[in-house]
Structure 1
Amino acid sequence: MDGKCAIVTGAARGIGLATADLFREAGWRVAMVDRDSAELARAEASRGDALALARDVSNPQDVDAIMRETAAWAGRIDALVNNAGVAEFGPIEDCDFEMWRRVMATNLDGVFLCTQAATPYLKETAGAVVNIASISGLRASTLRVAYGTSKAAVIHLTRQQAAELGEYGIRCNAVCPGPVRTKLAMAVHTQEIIDAYHDAIPLNRYGSEREIAEVICFLCSDKASYVTGQVIAADGGFESTGVGLPALRR
């Protein structure tokens, strides 16, 4: 029971699931958190060595339970990956307050709540926090007033956490994925958008879930022992170009 343990939120699919799998390959114990209990159960079915927790990161009581149950199961918490997020896009005029709050509750409040609740456990292990932001938090684009703002806030929250928690040996970093070839993205991106992304990204392609997971797990590992307060865009160079995509404006 002395092996390292990571909590990954939003772990039922996509980047979160890829990250959980990479941790497992490295010999870590993993608590997989997601509010989609059905999808989480499907993911857990082939990963019997993981702890599946059907919880909502925007609910303080659920968050406390995540930490308590993980610590009871693994005996320690060494890393927290705040990956859970929701994406709702649309024009500013169509973003009502209910939509704004739905996005902020998970994308920003969840990161705050989980990190705060995990801090006592991470102090004991000099652990690591990785917050999943987005290139939408680094550069403004249309249709993302709530989503982009939430991710920009996560970036600053990461720096606040790094500044305050560093004295306990806790490292806090953010990863900003660019376009990633997830099932959801491929379902909603038109061919025009796909072609535009390929043209705008210096590496001329979407990233994979596994590639993002590699960056996340590196930041949680001892190999990144002197890295904190950093914001890493894992985006094929997209953020560096500073070019908007007309195809995404409609």
Structure 2
Amino acid sequence: MTGDAIRMDGKVAIITGGAGGIGAATARLMTARGARVVIADIAADRAASLAAELPGAVAIALDLEQEASIEALIAQTVAQLGRLDVLHNNAALLELEVARHDGDIEHMTTALWDRTYAVNVRGTMIACRAALPHMVQTRGCIVNTVSNLALQGHVIQSAYSSSKAAVIQMTRAIAASHGHLGVRCNAVAPGMTMTPALRAAFPPALRKVVEDETLRDQLGDPEDIAEAVAFLASDAARNMTGQVLVCDGGAASHVPGISGFRSFFSGDQA
């Protein structure tokens, strides 16, 4: 492996949810490494604004609840840019009102559950299905954004976390079915990441709870996750497929209650 394996020169990458947060950071990083990026987002104006900043970037409006919109994204990308090498399925249902009502199963509404799965699982599946024939041609790769919550139980976000667990299994299924055709499929599982959407959805007190359980001295930024995504999308990760790369500052790696133990043994408690 050479030092250039991390580069993405000549590659075309679609980033869903690319107008903000992790998606925007990934678009900037992939562009810096030589890729032409397609910024696909339901926020069409923000996508166009970001695309205008990045050499060779294209903005395409995307509604993951609409099958035709997803299929048009893939078709338009190939028609306009000639190929498709990377599909980063990053978009998810993160509306503030949805997050506030995504609690435990006993109090879950069917409508919220169904919409979460429609966007996070069904939308991702349709994007992969439409992209795979083109990926076979380019020996491309798919990187799905999931969550460390897909690997743990929690008292909140039951719909979100279980939908992301479904995407992990989809990741493995695609890796198994298309690996011999030259297509890789991996997932990156962020922990709490300091995006604008997260700042709006989670008050400081709740963020502090997660921060105390993080092994780093701070929560991750979108650029931290972008680095993991760009690695998985590059030839540097050519021997990785069907994997979940957890990028959560170590929050999921330790026994529960580590912050209390840390405080006790540092002498903060009697």
Quickly name the TM-score band, shorter chain normalised: over 0.9
CA gap 1:244/1:101 in 2 versus in 1, 3 angstroms:
farther
Partner of 1:13: 20
Which whole-Å CA distance do the structure 1 matches of 2:157 and 2:212 have between them? Answer: 21
State, as a whole percentage, how many aligned pairs show the same letter.
39
For 2:253, what is the secondary structure of its paired residue? helix
Matching of residue 133 in structure 1 with residue 128 in structure 2: no
Alignment of 1:82-161 (within 5 A): 82-87=89-94, 88=99, 89-161=102-174
Superposed CA offset, 1:130-151 (max 9, x none): 0100011010101211101101
Contact 2:189 2:245 in 1 (8 A): yes
Contact 2:48 2:58 in 1 (8 A): no
Q: 1:29 aligns with which of 23, 36, 44?
A: 36
TM-score, normalised on structure 1? 0.93
Please tell me the root mean square deviation across aligned C-alpha atoms, in Å.
1.8
Which whole-Å CA distance do the structure 2 matches of 1:23 and 1:230 have between them? Answer: 21
Contact 1:123 1:170 in 2 (8 A): yes
Q: 1:49 Cα deviation (Å)? A: 2.4
Matching of residue 213 in structure 1 with residue 226 in structure 2: yes
Which whole-Å CA distance do the structure 2 matches of 1:42 and 1:76 have between them? Answer: 23
Matching of residue 61 in structure 1 with residue 90 in structure 2: no
State the structure with more CA Rg: 2
Q: 1:199 Cα deviation (Å)? A: 1.4
Which whole-Å CA distance do the structure 1 matches of 2:61 and 2:257 have between them? Answer: 38
Unaligned regions of 5+ residues in structure 1, if any? 246-250
Alignment of 1:177-192 (within 5 A): 177-192=190-205
Q: 1:48 Cα deviation (Å)? A: 5.7
Matching of residue 237 in structure 1 with residue 250 in structure 2: yes
Partner of 1:248: none
Matching of residue 71 in structure 1 with residue 78 in structure 2: yes
For 2:252, what is the secondary structure of its paired residue? helix
Which whole-Å CA distance do the structure 2 matches of 1:167 and 1:230 have between them? Answer: 16
TM-score, normalised on structure 2? 0.86
Contact 1:22 1:217 in 2 (8 A): yes
Contact 1:58 1:113 in 2 (8 A): no
Contact 2:31 2:55 in 1 (8 A): no
Matching of residue 43 in structure 1 with residue 50 in structure 2: yes
Which whole-Å CA distance do the structure 1 matches of 2:48 and 2:256 have between them? Answer: 40
Equivalent pairs counted in the alignment come to 245
Please say which of residues 235-244 and 162-171 is displaced more in the overlay. Answer: 235-244
For 1:30, what is the secondary structure of its paired residue? strand
Which whole-Å CA distance do the structure 2 matches of 1:170 and 1:22 have between them? Answer: 22
Q: 1:225 Cα deviation (Å)? A: 0.7
Partner of 1:3: 10
